[in-house]
Amino acid sequence: MPEKKARINMDAERSKVLIASLAFMGLGHIIFLKQYLKGILFALIEIVMILFSPRVVTVLYHLATLGTPKPDLPIRQRDNSVFMLIDGVMILALLGLYLAIYVITVRSALRTWDEYKITGRMSRSVNPFNELLNKAFPILGLSPAVLLIVFFVIVPLVFSILVAFTNYSTPDHIPPNNTVDWVGAQNFLAMFGGEKTWTGALGRVALWTLVWGALATSTCYFGGTILAVVLHESKIKIIPFFRTIFILPYAVPAVVSMLVWQNLLNGSFGTVNKTLIALGILREGAVIPWLSSQWLAKFTCVLVNFWAGVPYFMLLVTGTLTAISKDIYEASSIDGANKFQTFGKITLPLVLYQTMPLIIMSFTFNINNFGAIFFLTGGQPIVADTTTTSAAGTDILVTWIYKLTITLMDYKYASVLAVMIFIVLAPFAVFNFRRTKSFKEGRV
């Protein structure tokens, strides 16, 4: 009975520590744990938040309303909805950090009390920074990185997502001349079935984006694999020379390569068509519309990307081939397997196993491969709905977003597309990260 009564008293005291810590940051440390310096530091954080609470409330109110139209005032004095949205997101981030600190202080108080319950001795270090340099050091060491991630990654990401729920677009809702309003899911509904023109453009561009990503990845991968295997198995003494030649397209900046190919494939004065005419393959005056025919332009994009992307996978697969034991190939030759059987049953499966995460990364990269499309075709040729939506025949989602923001200044639909890309690509990124050795070791 005395032990049960003592345990009840200890639980009651722990509840008091919990309630005090929840009531005011650091109060449990000051009253019950006698850790005055730590408690005062925590209390100062809450006092600062209380002092700034009027400003916080004002910013959150502006976030909810995004300002009010004031046409009678000069433009510089009107409400800028975009600034209000950014300030609101930053305040929400600060409140999230404050809440995280609050949770840390409560857990710190409870942990200290539990240690006291076990040891029977209250921790009152003579050096107040002893715990700071030991238990709290990982938190302090990671805090700069956390702050950078919050304000340079999460805040811009949340801002971009929130724009999709506003009417931020030209000509009637561009601050500071006009305000921006919350419209809920109206933009998503319009894009996904509410307006036939935009829905048709979205379906066409999204389908081509997926096809482009799959073709750009598969052609470069298998082309690089075959090239690497051929060079690896060849007995020619000048193999390093051939490898150097094949690497050159990868060494040249992609922007330069695409612009050069754009000029070479120009239908009117391009070198390719003029060469075909000079060789008698094309009659005088005839042209091949490499970049002005929608389907031929798409084929050209895949072909030029194949030329530029094969060297990367050739180098990647070459490194993988050197890690495969020669004993496996000797055993297959003893069993009577020919070169094609060895490639299909041994080489390709082992290479795929080693490079599958990189294939996924390459696919996600090609989905957002802005340069390969924009600097080669500019998204051209023009199709039926291009005038309204600015989405041309070879545009992928990322180039369409660029045109929506730069040409049409239609930020609301551009944000909807950005959210859609994030939803599609985020699972690929997470899957690829979970397959890494560092994640698996950290999880264990």
Q: Is 25 left (phi over 0), alpha (psi -120 to 50) or beta?
A: beta
Which pLDDT score is estimated for 280?
A: 85
Which pLDDT score is estimated for 5?
A: 53
Which residue bears the tokens 């996904």? Answer: 192
Instruction: List, in order of start, the domains of the chain with CATH numbers.
Output: 2-184 (no CATH), 195-443 (1.10.3720.10)
H helices within 265-404, ranges in order? 271-278, 294-321, 326-334, 339-342, 348-367, 370-374, 386-389, 397-403
At residue 182, φ and ψ (nearest 5 deg) are -75, 135
Which pLDDT score is estimated for 400?
A: 94
By residue count, the chain amounts to 444
Residue type, 102: Y
Predicted TM-score (pTM) of this structure: 0.83
- The pLDDT profile of the chain, 444 residues, written as one tens digit per residue, is 555 555 556 667 788 888 888 899 988 888 888 788 888 888 999 999 999 999 999 999 999 999 888 888 888 888 899 999 999 999 999 999 999 999 988 988 888 888 777 776 655 544 555 655 566 667 777 888 888 999 999 999 999 999 999 999 988 888 888 899 999 899 999 888 878 889 999 999 999 999 999 999 999 999 999 988 888 887 777 777 888 888 888 888 888 999 999 999 988 888 998 988 888 888 887 888 999 899 999 999 999 999 999 998 998 888 888 888 888 888 888 878 888 888 888 888 888 888 888 888 888 889 989 999 999 999 989 888 888 889 999 999 999 999 999 888 899 999 999 998 888 888 877 776 676 554 565 554
Which pLDDT score is estimated for 6?
A: 52
